[in-house]
């Protein structure tokens, strides 16, 4: 850039600066007088935050997966939820018809060895004669998870397994919630010998109407006996075609997560080990998966979202998987260290499944599932919140040494808190969970300031404001969490990862409150805590700058500054949380940048605030409490910013490029009608800014 161009830009800044001051903020009585933030943006200053800094924690809680992220519409698809003994409960399946027209029962005739229960349907009515079937026939229906989202024009793949000793015709339909309207249907005709053994039937149904609380029906209008098992219905339009509900997964992707911890939480432990998550029962063809009852969050999962799918999800999101493994400890029972080896073998097998060659024992199972390439598994957590338990340390050490020898590159995460003391066992990371009030959470922005700089790094794998401050996802909770995350960012020399918890809640089954994303069968929205995380989506792998915050509002202010590159663009982001109830006038000076090096035409300011501190989003008002973005024409190396009471402000400064087009945009912004290459006194527009600009350059 030539010196003339520099002058032009400097002048633009000067003039806009004068305007800004003239039109500037009214400083009311409730404004705390100026605080100062000095950001050192000199080349080579600051440090690189871990590439993994911010990510996700997915737990199968609140029907987050079954009836949520996993797009399967049928609940209890194999009729196993009622247990292995017959007769069993087939809930939520129900009957269409009455006792005079249909009898259903369960038996153990399934062709799937790991889940023997099948449904026997005996239709007593027929198309004519004394016991005529009602119009539309009789049969069974499944309402899914609080209603199936059937949308006009969308296609659904229905797969089911059928057995019959006689010829038959039955109908597979998607229907409205009460069955009164058929949204899509097809008939299946079978000749007697063809279905005397179980056969798989697959159909594609295109919906001709919409019902967000629809259902799947299997009906017939003629007398006869038949069996059904393993019935699935899934929209064909899922995230990357891998079975994840699209809108929900896009919400995750937009946070740019660098890791995903799964599948729990307490879900991994179980109240009792017999009900804990067992990965081997969640892989392979879905029909072969027995499903299980998660006794902590108290619901059945068909385990369509299994270990393989979690690894796939991580890959699809460009995030590293963090595999939380049960090392022989549940909430109520524990395996002694002397007998824990089978659990260790399970872990080793799971790693071979994820990373082994396609011809290894478990790698070949993965390859058969359609992923010959190994997954990028590098993090394993041993247990969840189990540190104080009798056998934890012994089991942990046994696992640690075997795992380190077999896979030296895998980072092992301990459940014991190393933030305030040295751990008494080796670990690459230690897990840290915090659920607390808003004021505590905000003050925890300094929690890691005093942590030992050597030793294992922290994985803050669960954090959230809970209790009365949180409502069902309040603004004040999110603001306090933002303060906490700013603290993590500034301590990212000792923090390797952080994730909010829990991620999802199906509004029909709130087991834990609050959560980041709320959904039902067809809608979803982010709570303020979700939107708050957007402010940190560029922080992983960014350069964290040294800052100095001075002034008289320090107990209610926290700030951080990062730089990152996106293609040819260099950004500087300054984030400030004002947790106080007064506005704060903040003077920000950025050292180490030339005064004209900020492109104020493309810099932006994002403010997140709410008049009502307990403000929440909802299905009706999903964007009531969301960040508001605007152009930030005051952007420069010396800026005065008025921080609203209780607000999170992010200033994204685009570092100036030498591109003349960018300078031209700046010229146009000052009111000039001609561009750099064509400055002509006679043709210039008449604005004072432009005249001033022109004559000074001349
Ligand atoms: O995030 C909800 C629960 O909180 C997790 O399952 C558990 O780890 C923690 O106690």
Q: Whole-angstrom distance between the N-terminal and C-terminal Cα of the chain?
A: 17
* Among protein residues, the one whose CA lies closest to atom 7 of ligand 1: 265
pLDDT at 18 over 50: no
> How many angstroms is it from 269 CA to the middle of ligand 1?
10
Give the residue among 191, 42, 82, 173 at the shortest CA–CA distance from 589. Answer: 42
> How many angstroms is it from 516 CA to the middle of ligand 1?
14
Q: How far apart are CA 351 and CA 349, in angstroms?
A: 5
Query: Is the distance from CB of 520 to CB of 244 less than 8 angstroms?
Result: no
Tokens of 248: 């929900």
CA distances from 105 to 93, 226, 290 (A): 11, 11, 19
Q: How far apart are CA 385 and CA 415, in angstroms?
A: 6
Mutate to test the pocket of ligand 1, among 62, 331, 382, 502 (most ligand atoms within 8 A of CB): 502
Does the beta carbon of 462 sit less than 6 angstroms from any atom of ligand 1?
yes
Summary count for the chain: helices (H), strands (E): 12, 35
Which residues are 548's β-sheet partners?
A: 38
Domains in the chain, start-ordered, CATH in brackets? 3-46+545-697 (2.60.40.1180), 56-68+239-429+442-453+481-509 (3.20.20.80), 94-235 (2.60.120.260)
Residue-level pLDDT at 32: 72
> How many angstroms is it from 355 CA to the middle of ligand 1?
28
Residue-level pLDDT at 34: 85
Mutate to test the pocket of ligand 1, among 385, 460, 464, 504 (most ligand atoms within 8 A of CB): 385
pLDDT at 690 over 70: no
From the CA of 267, give the closest atom in ligand 1: 6
* Among protein residues, the one whose CA lies closest to atom 2 of ligand 1: 502
* Among protein residues, the one whose CA lies closest to atom 8 of ligand 1: 265
Residue-level pLDDT at 17: 37
Find the helix packing angle between 341-355 and 307-317, rounded to 10°: 40
> How many angstroms is it from 156 CA to the middle of ligand 1?
34
From the CA of 264, give the closest atom in ligand 1: 6
From the CA of 296, give the closest atom in ligand 1: 6
Rounded to the nearest integer, the mean pLDDT of the chain is 92
Residue-wise pLDDT for 494-547, tens only, equals 999 999 999 999 999 999 999 999 999 999 999 999 999 999 999 999 999 999
User: For 308, which DSSP code?
Assistant: H
> How many angstroms is it from 691 CA to the middle of ligand 1?
63
Residue-level pLDDT at 192: 87
Residue-level pLDDT at 594: 86
Q: Mean pLDDT, to the nearest integer, of 644-654?
A: 97
Tokens of 93: 């399946």
Contacts of 298 (CB under 8 A, 6+ apart): 511
Residue-level pLDDT at 1: 38
Name which of 29-33, 291-295, 391-395 the model is least confident about: 29-33
CA distances from 696 to 4, 658, 676 (A): 10, 21, 14
Q: How far apart are CA 472 and CA 527, in angstroms?
A: 8
Does the beta carbon of 324 sit less than 6 angstroms from any atom of ligand 1?
no
Does the beta carbon of 384 sit less than 6 angstroms from any atom of ligand 1?
yes
Give the residue among 204, 279, 274 at the shortest CA–CA distance from 235. Answer: 204
> How many angstroms is it from 13 CA to the middle of ligand 1?
51
> How many angstroms is it from 362 CA to the middle of ligand 1?
30
Residue-level pLDDT at 595: 77
Name which of 194-203, 494-503, 606-615, 669-678 the model is least confident about: 669-678
Does the beta carbon of 520 sit less than 6 angstroms from any atom of ligand 1?
no
Residue-wise pLDDT for 142-165, tens only, equals 999 999 999 999 999 999 999 999
Give the residue among 334, 327, 427 at the shortest CA–CA distance from 382. Answer: 327
Does the beta carbon of 266 sit less than 6 angstroms from any atom of ligand 1?
yes
Query: Is the distance from CB of 468 to CB of 566 less than 8 angstroms?
Result: no
């Amino acid at each position: 850039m030539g010196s003339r161009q520099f002058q032009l830009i400097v002048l633009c800044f000067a003039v806009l600066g004068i305007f800004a001051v003239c039109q500037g903020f009214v400083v009311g009585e409730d404004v705390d007088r100026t605080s100062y933030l000095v950001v050192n943006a000199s080349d080579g200053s600051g440090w690189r935050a871990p590439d993994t800094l911010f990510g996700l924690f997915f737990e199968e809680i609140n029907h987050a997966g079954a009836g949520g992220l996993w797009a399967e519409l049928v609940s209890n698809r194999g009729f196993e939820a009622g247990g292995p003994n017959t007769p069993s409960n087939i809930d939520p399946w129900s009957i269409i018809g009455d006792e005079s027209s249909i009898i259903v029962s369960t038996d153990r005739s399934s062709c799937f060895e790991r889940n023997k229960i099948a449904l026997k349907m005996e239709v007593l009515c027929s198309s004519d004669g004394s016991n005529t079937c009602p119009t539309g026939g009789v049969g069974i229906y499944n309402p899914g998870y609080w209603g199936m989202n059937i949308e006009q024009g969308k296609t659904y793949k229905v797969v089911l397994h059928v057995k019959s000793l006689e010829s038959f015709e039955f109908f597979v339909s998607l229907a409205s919630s009460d069955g009164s309207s058929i949204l899509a249907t097809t008939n299946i005709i079978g000749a007697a010998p063809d279905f005397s053994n179980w056969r798989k039937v697959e159909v594609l149904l295109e919906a001709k109407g919409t019902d967000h609380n629809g259902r799947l029906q299997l009906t017939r209008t003629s007398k006869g006996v038949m069996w059904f098992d393993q019935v699935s219905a899934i929209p064909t339009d899922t995230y990357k075609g891998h079975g994840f509900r699209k809108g929900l997964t896009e919400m995750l992707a937009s946070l740019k997560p660098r890791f995903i911890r799964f599948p729990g939480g307490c879900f991994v432990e179980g109240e009792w080990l017999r009900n804990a998550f067992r990965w081997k029962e969640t892989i392979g063809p879905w029909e072969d998966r027995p499903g299980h009852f998660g006794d902590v969050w108290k619901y059945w999962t068909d385990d369509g979202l299994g270990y393989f799918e979690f690894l796939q999800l991580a890959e699809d999101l460009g995030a590293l998987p963090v595999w939380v493994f049960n090392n022989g400890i549940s909430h109520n029972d524990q395996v002694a260290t002397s007998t824990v080896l089978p659990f260790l073998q399970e872990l080793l097998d799971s790693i071979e499944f994820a990373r082994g060659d396609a011809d290894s024992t478990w790698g070949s199972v993965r390859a058969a599932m359609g992923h010959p390439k190994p997954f990028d598994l590098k993090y394993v957590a041993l247990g969840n919140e189990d540190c104080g338990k009798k056998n934890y340390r012994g089991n942990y050490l046994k696992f640690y040494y075997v795992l380190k020898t077999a896979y030296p590159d895998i980072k092992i995460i301990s459940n014991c808190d190393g933030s305030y003391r040295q751990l008494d066992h080796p670990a690459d990371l230690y897990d840290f969970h915090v659920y607390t009030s808003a004021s505590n959470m905000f003050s925890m922005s300094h929690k890691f300031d005093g942590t030992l700089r050597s030793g294992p790094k922290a994985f803050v794998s669960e954090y959230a404001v809970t209790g009365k401050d949180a409502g069902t996802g309040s603004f004040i909770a999110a603001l306090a969490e933002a303060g906490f995350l700013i603290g993590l960012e500034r301590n990212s020399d000792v923090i390797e990862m952080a994730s909010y918890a829990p991620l999802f809640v199906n509004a029909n089954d709130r087991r834990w409150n609050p959560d980041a994303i709320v959904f039902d069968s067809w809608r979803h929205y982010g709570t303020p805590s979700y939107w708050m995380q957007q402010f940190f989506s560029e922080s992983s792998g960014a350069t964290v700058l040294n800052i100095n915050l001075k002034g008289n509002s320090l107990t209610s202010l926290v700030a951080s500054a990062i730089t990152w590159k996106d293609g040819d663009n260099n950004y500087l982001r300054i984030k400030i949380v004002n947790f106080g109830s007064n506005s704060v006038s903040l003077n920000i000076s950025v050292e180490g940048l030339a005064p004209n090096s900020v492109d104020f035409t493309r810099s932006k300011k994002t403010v997140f605030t709410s008049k009502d501190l307990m403000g929440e989003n909802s299905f009706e008002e999903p964007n009531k409490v969301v960040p508001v973005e605007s152009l930030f024409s005051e952007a420069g190396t010396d800026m005065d910013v008025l921080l609203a009471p209780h607000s999170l402000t992010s200033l994204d400064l685009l570092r100036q490029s030498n591109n003349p087009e960018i300078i031209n945009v700046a010229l146009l912004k000052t009111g000039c009608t001609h561009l750099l290459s064509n400055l002509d006194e006679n043709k210039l527009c008449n604005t004072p800014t432009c005249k001033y600009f022109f004559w000074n350059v001349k």
